[in-house]
Amino acid sequence: MTQLKVGIIGCGRPRQTEGATGFGQGRLHAMGYKATSDCVLAAAADIRSDNLELFCQEHHIPNGYLDYKEMLAKEALDIVSVCLWPHLHAPVVIDVARAGVKAIHAEKPMAPTWGEAKKMVAVCEENHVQLTINHQRRCGQPFRKAKALLDAGAIGQLLRLEGFCSNLFDWGTHWFDMMFFYNNETPAKWVIGQLDARGGPSIFGVRVEGQGLSYIEWQNGVHGLLVTGRGDVAQQDEMTMGNRLVGTEGMIEVGAKDGPLVRLRSPETGGRWQAVEVEGTLHGNEHVVTGIIDLVDALKNSREPELSGRRALQATELIFATYESSRKRGRVDLPLEIEDSPLLAMLEAGVLETDS
């Protein structure tokens, strides 16, 4: 089989190195494509020549471009990774989809507004392009072990899913996505939520809340709760944020603060917490690599990839539905019928208090 030609838009710098403004996710994407014999890294694009040159040297990429549109016009690429800040995701993904590629792998969160996120998926569908979003937690062994325990009946029937993290948009997109993963991709029915903007930072150029609550019901009756911010139960170190699965006969926790990667409490454990043996990490680079290997295999075999745009969109809908619930001060029934970001709109209108 002829190797798939890959291009990467957004080289950046390695995380926590001089001049770095992000995580340098393009490097992790490159690792993923290099891990499969089906792909060859053919080109890269970045607006900074120093970042581009370093990236191409590091990954032995023959062709570098300062303009991604020139790269698309010249390279006849099969797969393109978009490793840019959120406000650039929609316009760049749309350009790439219309350039004739077979697949696009973009970073999360999808976009700063609900309308942009929907359009990304719609344009890719119109152009028969496989879109994936890097919700890589789905590929992590601790999370998959929790799902396996749930499916095996370790806690009985699933009743509720809980998550704790710093914000709904940048980190919450992962936990909303994992809730759908645990709940077999069941569509959500409604969302009710509240936001407090005080102390809310800007993350990759997008303002997020200081604290928030999102409560969800799925169509199968399972409920979900996501708590964000730095106070009360959400006051956890950035790298030890967790998930909780509550069933009729027990609980499973993933990444509990000061706890093991996965732990179980059920009648079988005598009602006490018991550590579950599992390999891997909560936040390892290997998750990104596994996700890319999966999307390449999905492209070859015409199946839905684990990190599909459709699945990412349903998680993204919960973010903006929570924002909308806070704006309208009531429950929001899905599907969500707005185009903007209610949080950004409320901040612009000055209706949210922002002083700490």
Q: What is residue 342's predicted lDDT score, i.e. its pLDDT? A: 98
pTM over 0.85: yes
Q: What is residue 241's predicted lDDT score, i.e. its pLDDT? A: 57
Long-range contacts of 127-131 (CB under 8 A, 24+ apart): 127/97, 127/98, 127/100, 129/96, 129/97, 129/101, 129/102, 129/103, 129/104, 130/102, 130/103, 130/104, 130/295, 130/298, 130/299, 130/305, 130/308, 131/93, 131/97, 131/103, 131/104, 131/106, 131/308, 131/309
* Domains, in order of start, for the chain: 4-136+286-307 (3.40.50.720), 138-280+315-344 (3.30.360.10)
Q: What is residue 14's predicted lDDT score, i.e. its pLDDT? A: 64
Scanning the chain, the segments in alpha helix (DSSP H) are 25-34, 49-59, 68-75, 86-97, 114-126, 141-151, 172-182, 286-301, 309-328, 342-349
Q: What is residue 152's predicted lDDT score, i.e. its pLDDT? A: 98
Token digits of residue 50: 């120093």
Q: Are the beta carbons of 256 and 137 closer than 8 angstroms? A: no
Burial of 249 (0-12, 13-18, 19+ CB in 10 A): middle
Q: What is residue 232's predicted lDDT score, i.e. its pLDDT? A: 44
Cross-strand pairs, 60:
none
Q: Quick: pLDDT tens for 5-20.
A: 999 999 987 655 665 5
Token digits of residue 153: 């009946």
Going by C-alpha positions, the residue among 118, 64, 125 that lies closest to residue 98 is: 125
Q: Quick: pLDDT tens for 71-95.
A: 999 999 999 999 999 999 999 999 9
**Residue 47 pLDDT grade (very low, low, confident, very high; cuts 50, 70, 90):** very high
Q: Residue 238: pLDDT above 50?
A: no
Q: What is residue 1's predicted lDDT score, i.e. its pLDDT? A: 61
Least confidently predicted of 8-17, 18-27, 134-143, 259-268: 18-27
Q: What is residue 258's predicted lDDT score, i.e. its pLDDT? A: 83
Residue located via tokens 């370790």: 154
